[in-house]
Structure 1
């Protein structure tokens, strides 16, 4: 039904060329430290490229490829230590029977322990110098105290306390024995020897999702690469958005000047760390069209299917030189597949229609395009479950979704205008204007009347009218379609279908029932004449209006109308009570307790409302409501006694 929105080794965009270039570069510089950046916006495909690089090295026993996701380890205290420990553990797993690797790994991990110790010692040093406890100091002392107290009162002695103090002194002295430069130099030598002992020709560390990390975690990971791990035989392939990394640098080093020469300090930092940058290109029209086609076909056929495999191979050939054509050629598809299946035909047709706007609106971002297609397929599936899938044309749905995604004013106007009859007057005018320069023919308005060619001056006053004209030119035209099922399945806000829904002749009555108490009373006879189905429609519209109210401290517009509906049509009393019970108690004003005695005339409904009233009187979250409910209960009790 949908295509998973995560990294994948299934290459629909021919990013394999980038991955192979990275692999070749790593192989050519195998004895030298190397850092490669795979840059691109969120959703550009960086993780997929890293996965392809990992796959390329999977069968080489003398290459260790380690995948590190900084985002997953964001909660750890020391990102540097976690990165190094991850690499060492992978080396030990790669050579599980080697005693030399095991012993050398222990030496490297001891250096990692020193890093952690030095970090904590810094906190203790600050405490000793200032007398102000650092958070790390408090945490460590708390753990030591809990450990000591856990032995029982009989074990807490002066000797134990003295041992704790002595241990702290040794802790600080151990850290102070070696300077940080000496420790770093020793670590680099021991780490290089670990690679040699493991008989690893190339360590390839794939660092992903740094641009999702908090700034301090991103910088710590990059610093670990620069200071500790940049040794011979080690290569780092870092997938990140340059803009986010620059932001992290600015946040981590706020006192740096803004710029030096033609570039910012943040940019210089990144360029010093990354030796070879790759920037994933945004998708153009041809690539977007091919990508949409493949996603739509993938919704019908599996990845392993013969049709999809052949179509992907053909797409890859076209993507080698995307500037040569608009996308997949029908004749070439026919030759490759031995005919064009209906599903592929429809996918190619739809892709050709929506690709121009989607390529521009999504700015060539694969994830945005994939989400658009997935949302469309999900909505079709929902329509199928509801039983009206046959009423939806996928091309019409895709066109409406383009407006929903990139021109919300146009979509809202179309939704409002089509709510009553299914046809939008403004949409008919727009499409007539777009068609007029080429046809010059008479057009029909939404009510069927023949008119002359529309002019630019008759267009609606939308802020994005130029985009709307480009959109209206896409086939198929919408003016003659019943748009209500499309608006229903695309609505993501209750206001599209709810209080604003047009019910034709009932609109005037709904307006009266949203008016003053006098207007509601005058409409009572009209309410009483409603058929059951009409009463339900009016009730639903009023209920939606009240539900959408932002302020429930004051009586919302429509409450009096709901009461009158239930008074005239007793079958609505139970739905009304359920609605009142569902309103958030903490936000309700005193108005909620009164006026229901003549409404809830059914015995069981009245009894249940009395229980609700008691609940309001017993709660303490809303004092005004509590007082009003208590007063209402006392008044009701007096009436019963009299």
Structure 2
């Protein structure tokens, strides 16, 4: 069973309402140029809304709907002319037998050729003629001629270059007689003539995946769209995450001031271009539950099954007022199936929808694609168990619970893996004690009294680490979630999620890494003595040791003086640069109220990755501006002053 991650053909989230609103807006303003933005985070369902919009508009005989995927043209030298040329050629392709369309398109394509030649030549038509081209211009000339003539550089002759310059000059010369505004006005006028020739009342261009493009491509595409802003009978529907487009504007125009009144220049740019924005809202708990249930039932029965269609109709009716909905329950499924006893796949959908809703709503922030990917990951892991012949040892609800931890609290999951590998029969006593402590409390979020687990767990190190997780609210809520894990052999689940841990050699390997962590918690001399062993560690083992040391440091909860283990973390990040981001994460975890001045300069030489170093500099600036710890503020300010003076 696999859930398709492409634009859905079945509207499980009632996004058709958004698409219908966009269509109505376009049809109600047929003469007015229009740009509509369909906004949402990555995976929110923008492409699905655009597909529904296209399907609805394709039924209109006098409306021509074109689809343009900006990402598909990533890497083109001039994305601005690509989108214009694509629109013209697509109209020509859809009216292949019309002489009027061919003539109108030819005039427009000549203007596009002028734009391309002007960009490619960059004044070469004039400078080459004087015999005084610059070295850069010579390179531009050869590159332009290669593309235009379809030859390799070594195959170009003097006659080729001279002919190319003459033809380029021929394209540029008529434009000299027009001002740039006149040229743009002529383009818009001739484009309307093309629409008349094609007998099109309204042209709708749907632009998708713009937020996946590099900033240069995104801005070039938007600039091309801007050319059509005053062309009557044209509408653009743009699917993009506003935050990514604002980022593209800032990257492309780095000299812009940070803001203009209450709104940034980047936001102003977007709002001037997009006249009507629609934002796809994140899923709430009821919608998430409904979505999980529908996905699983569709996978079990098929999209065309009459029972699924009946359930889908009930879900759409329920989602009309999501603030009143509780999601699909057993009564809704029984009504759709027509009997009290639910089919196995449908019953599983009901159970998972109930169990996963709260965690997935928070963990994915109501993102449909993230929900779908989680379910796919779970189904794939179960399929691995089936293929290996031990699916009977895997309960889907337990598997789902463990994948929740892996996806949304990975550090805890890694700790859990170590416990399972080292435990007798894969049943960690620590998890049994943890569950009993949480489930005996009045509420899962109630903190566990200090020392509760210390008295129950034999090894002090294990107890200290578990105490740290015992006071993590997310982990407490997770451990309270049904089904319980106590007494369950968790090795099959770990094998289908992280079988590399099994390959480490069980308890002996875990013991070896713990011994290394002990050394990294020691003196500076001990840390230096462990450098060679740290260097030999494979990536997963280095991550494991890093987590052991990190949690031990955080477990001490004493940062007035530089705690033991800091040097060990720095050594691990130095030998394994992929851990630099995690070292930065540790620096952010330190409680500033309790931190001594040592923190200001502890990691100065630790970051070689440019992006991580930039984020560390930002962190230093935040420490210098905070007021909860004056000593740390003064030490950080002094450290930054010294850095600037170097």
TM-score, scaled to structure 1:
0.72
Aligned residue for 2:390? 388
Q: CA deviation at 1:160?
A: 7.8
Q: CA deviation at 1:137?
A: 2.5
Say yes or no: does 1:131 pair with 2:138.
no
Provide the secondary structure at the position in 2 that maps to 1:300. helix
Say yes or no: does 1:437 pair with 2:441.
yes
Provide the secondary structure at the position in 2 that maps to 1:225. helix
Q: CA deviation at 1:355?
A: 0.9
Q: Does the 8 Å CA contact 1:44/1:280 hold for their aligned counterparts?
A: yes
In 1: Cα distance, 2:148 partner to 2:491 partner: 68
In 2: Cα distance, 1:23 partner to 1:388 partner: 51
Residues 542-599 of structure 1, C-alpha deviations (whole Å, 9 max, x = no match): xxx9995479xxxxxxxxxxxxxxxxxxxxxxxxxxxxxxxxxxxxxxxxxxxxxxxx
Q: Gaps spanning 5+ residues in structure 2: where?
A: 445-451, 458-462, 516-533, 541-646
Aligned residue for 1:485? 492
Aligned-pair Cα RMSD in Å: 3.6
Provide the secondary structure at the position in 2 that maps to 1:491. helix
Cα gap change, 1:335 to 1:163, in 2 (>3 Å): closer
Q: Does the 8 Å CA contact 1:44/1:365 hold for their aligned counterparts?
A: yes
Provide the secondary structure at the position in 1 that maps to 2:303. coil
Cα gap change, 1:148 to 1:398, in 2 (>3 Å): closer
Say yes or no: does 1:82 pair with 2:82.
yes
Say yes or no: does 1:462 pair with 2:469.
yes
Aligned residue for 1:68? 68
Provide the secondary structure at the position in 2 that maps to 1:460. helix
Say yes or no: does 1:301 pair with 2:301.
yes
Task: Single out whichever of 408-417 and 191-200 deviates more from structure 2.
Answer: 408-417
In 1: Cα distance, 2:309 partner to 2:486 partner: 39
Cα gap change, 1:547 to 1:291, in 2 (>3 Å): farther
Residues 72-130 of structure 1, C-alpha deviations (whole Å, 9 max, x = no match): 01122221222122222222233333221121111111111111122123253796687
In 2: Cα distance, 1:497 partner to 1:410 partner: 17
Provide the secondary structure at the position in 2 that maps to 1:25. helix
Provide the secondary structure at the position in 2 that maps to 1:370. helix
Cα gap change, 1:83 to 1:292, in 2 (>3 Å): same
Q: Does the 8 Å CA contact 2:38/2:280 hold for their aligned counterparts?
A: yes
Residues 267-296 of structure 1, C-alpha deviations (whole Å, 9 max, x = no match): 000000011000110111011111111121
Q: Does the 8 Å CA contact 2:311/2:332 hold for their aligned counterparts?
A: no
In 1: Cα distance, 2:161 partner to 2:486 partner: 85
Q: CA deviation at 1:205?
A: 0.5
Cα gap change, 1:205 to 1:476, in 2 (>3 Å): same
Cα gap change, 1:184 to 1:317, in 2 (>3 Å): same
Question: After the TM superposition, which residues 29-108 of structure 1 pair with which residues of structure 2 at under 5 Å, given as runs?
Answer: 29-108=29-108
Q: CA deviation at 1:172?
A: 5.2
Cα gap change, 1:34 to 1:168, in 2 (>3 Å): closer
In 2: Cα distance, 1:433 partner to 1:148 partner: 74
Q: CA deviation at 1:27?
A: 0.6
In 1: Cα distance, 2:267 partner to 2:225 partner: 17
Aligned residue for 2:429? 425
Q: Does the 8 Å CA contact 2:146/2:153 hold for their aligned counterparts?
A: no
In 2: Cα distance, 1:144 partner to 1:87 partner: 21
Cα gap change, 1:509 to 1:77, in 2 (>3 Å): closer
Task: Single out whichever of 413-422 and 117-126 deviates more from structure 2.
Answer: 117-126
In 2: Cα distance, 1:110 partner to 1:402 partner: 57
Residues 199-235 of structure 1, C-alpha deviations (whole Å, 9 max, x = no match): 1111110000110111111111111111245411101
Cα gap change, 1:145 to 1:133, in 2 (>3 Å): farther
Cα gap change, 1:67 to 1:167, in 2 (>3 Å): closer
Q: Does the 8 Å CA contact 1:100/1:197 hold for their aligned counterparts?
A: yes
In 2: Cα distance, 1:327 partner to 1:212 partner: 33
Computing the radius of gyration from Cα coordinates, the structure with the larger value is: 1
Say yes or no: does 1:414 pair with 2:419.
no
Q: Does the 8 Å CA contact 1:33/1:230 hold for their aligned counterparts?
A: yes
Residues 302-361 of structure 1, C-alpha deviations (whole Å, 9 max, x = no match): 211222222211111111112213201322322232123332122111111111011101
Say yes or no: does 1:284 pair with 2:284.
yes
Provide the secondary structure at the position in 1 that maps to 2:467. coil
- Which of 497, 503, 506 aligns to 1:498? It is 503
Provide the secondary structure at the position in 2 that maps to 1:255. coil
Say yes or no: does 1:189 pair with 2:194.
no
Cα gap change, 1:228 to 1:17, in 2 (>3 Å): closer
Aligned residue for 1:607? none
In 2: Cα distance, 1:406 partner to 1:509 partner: 28
Q: Does the 8 Å CA contact 2:142/2:153 hold for their aligned counterparts?
A: no
Say yes or no: does 1:25 pair with 2:25.
yes
In 2: Cα distance, 1:19 partner to 1:292 partner: 22
Residues 502-523 of structure 1, C-alpha deviations (whole Å, 9 max, x = no match): 26xx9999999xxxxxxxxxxx
Provide the secondary structure at the position in 2 that maps to 1:72. helix
Provide the secondary structure at the position in 2 that maps to 1:14. coil
Cα gap change, 1:240 to 1:150, in 2 (>3 Å): closer
Provide the secondary structure at the position in 1 that maps to 2:38. strand
Aligned residue for 1:329? 329
Aligned residue for 2:224? 224
In 2: Cα distance, 1:391 partner to 1:398 partner: 14
TM-score, scaled to structure 2:
0.71
Question: After the TM superposition, which residues 627-642 of structure 1 pair with which residues of structure 2 at under 5 Å, given as runs?
Answer: none
Aligned residue for 1:562? none
Cα gap change, 1:56 to 1:166, in 2 (>3 Å): closer
Cα gap change, 1:166 to 1:435, in 2 (>3 Å): closer
Question: After the TM superposition, which residues 528-547 of structure 1 pair with which residues of structure 2 at under 5 Å, given as runs?
Answer: none
Q: Gaps spanning 5+ residues in structure 1: where?
A: 451-455, 513-544, 552-642
Q: Does the 8 Å CA contact 1:44/1:366 hold for their aligned counterparts?
A: yes
Cα gap change, 1:123 to 1:240, in 2 (>3 Å): farther
Q: Does the 8 Å CA contact 1:409/1:462 hold for their aligned counterparts?
A: no
Provide the secondary structure at the position in 2 that maps to 1:263. coil
Question: After the TM superposition, which residues 178-217 of structure 1 pair with which residues of structure 2 at under 5 Å, given as runs?
Answer: 178-217=178-217
Aligned residue for 1:314? 314
